[in-house]
């Protein structure tokens, strides 16, 4: 059953997280994204001009649109600048690829290095598969030590009146 928090409870959690995790939590609770949807976001799916996010292959394998929370806009833009810097560095080293869905890598051979296809929340290190060993993929949250497991449990101490660590 979904947990509904008051504004004060959400505020208490938001004070406890920083950096990339703060952006992810704002997108989870401000845009209604599921954690896997958030971690699989690509740069091209975030539209700052229209203030919206396109969620690809969401529940039921349907694409959907949701709002881009105003609170996340500035930090997300700054985060994407850093991701782009990392991508350009990876390209200079002969890497900078991402794993593409379905057969897009065959249809568009250069798309895997295109900025638009990069993950917004890419793995901190390159972790491709056998076909693309130099790819910077999203990594499932089970192997992402920088993300709380699971993020919704961040809210448990707030409900119990405890401080988060």
31-38 contacts: CB < 8 A, separation 24 or more?
31/66, 31/67, 31/68, 31/69, 31/72, 32/66, 33/66, 34/58, 34/59, 35/141, 35/150, 35/151, 36/141, 38/121
Do β-strands 46-47 and 64-67 pair in parallel, antiparallel, or remain unpaired?
A: unpaired
Residue 81 has pLDDT above 90, yes or no: yes
Q: What's the pLDDT at 141?
A: 44
């690809």: which residue's tokens? 56
pLDDT tens track for 113-153: 999 999 998 877 666 555 555 555 544 444 455 565 545 55
Cα gap 64→51, rounded to integer Å: 14
What is the DSSP code string of 94-117? T--B-PPSTTHHHHSTTGGGSGGG
Q: What's the pLDDT at 142?
A: 44
Cα gap 66→1, rounded to integer Å: 22
CB 112 within 8 A of CB 135: yes
pLDDT tens track for 25-55: 899 889 999 888 998 899 999 999 999 999 9
Cα gap 92→76, rounded to integer Å: 24
């Amino acid at each position: 059953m979904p947990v509904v928090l008051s504004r004060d409870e959400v505020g208490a959690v938001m004070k406890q997280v920083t950096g990339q995790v703060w952006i992810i939590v704002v997108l989870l609770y401000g845009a209604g994204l599921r954690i896997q949807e958030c971690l699989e976001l690509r740069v091209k799916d975030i539209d700052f001009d229209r203030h919206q996010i396109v969620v690809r292959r969401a529940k039921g394998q349907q694409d959907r649109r949701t709002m881009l929370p105003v609170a996340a806009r500035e930090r997300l833009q700054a985060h994407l600048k850093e991701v782009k810097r990392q991508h350009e560095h990876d390209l200079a080293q002969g890497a900078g690829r991402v794993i593409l869905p379905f057969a897009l890598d065959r249809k568009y051979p250069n798309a895997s290095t295109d900025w638009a296809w990069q993950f917004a929340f890419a793995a901190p290190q390159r972790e491709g598969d056998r076909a693309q060993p130099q790819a910077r993929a999203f990594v499932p949250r089970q192997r992402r030590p920088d993300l709380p497991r699971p993020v919704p449990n961040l809210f448990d101490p707030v409900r119990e009146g405890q401080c988060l660590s």
